[in-house]
Amino acid sequence: MSKTLREKFIEALIARGERKTHELTSSIVFTRKEGGYYYVGRSGSLRYGSSRTNSVPCSSKWKAMLLIEGMI
C-alpha cells in the first residue's frame, strides 16, 4: 500500500533528525533545527514557523528535496 503524503513528510522529518514534540487537532508538530517548528497537516501540508498561527507554507522545492532526502 502506498504511503500518504503526510506519512512521507513525517518519515522524512524524522530521518532528517527532527523530533516530534506533540500533536494538535490539525497537525503534528516537529522541532526545526533552524529554530521554531514544522507543522504537518492532515492532508499533507507542511508549514514552518514559531507558532501554528504565524507559520508559512514550505516551498514546493524544499518539500521535494525533503522527500528525496527521506528516501535515501
Domain boundaries, the chain: 5-71
Question: How does pLDDT run along the chain (72 residues), one tens digit per residue?
Answer: 789 999 999 999 999 999 999 998 889 999 998 899 999 999 999 999 999 899 999 999 999 999 998 776
Cβ atoms of 21 and 10 within 8 Å: the answer is no
For cell 508549514, what's the residue?
Answer: 47
User: Hey, is 71 helix, strand or coil?
Assistant: helix
- pTM of the model as a whole: 0.90
Cβ atoms of 70 and 16 within 8 Å: the answer is yes
User: Hey, is 34 helix, strand or coil?
Assistant: coil
Contacts for 25-31 with beta carbons within 8 Å, 24 or more apart?
26/52, 27/52
Backbone angles phi, psi at 24, to 5 degrees: -100, 175
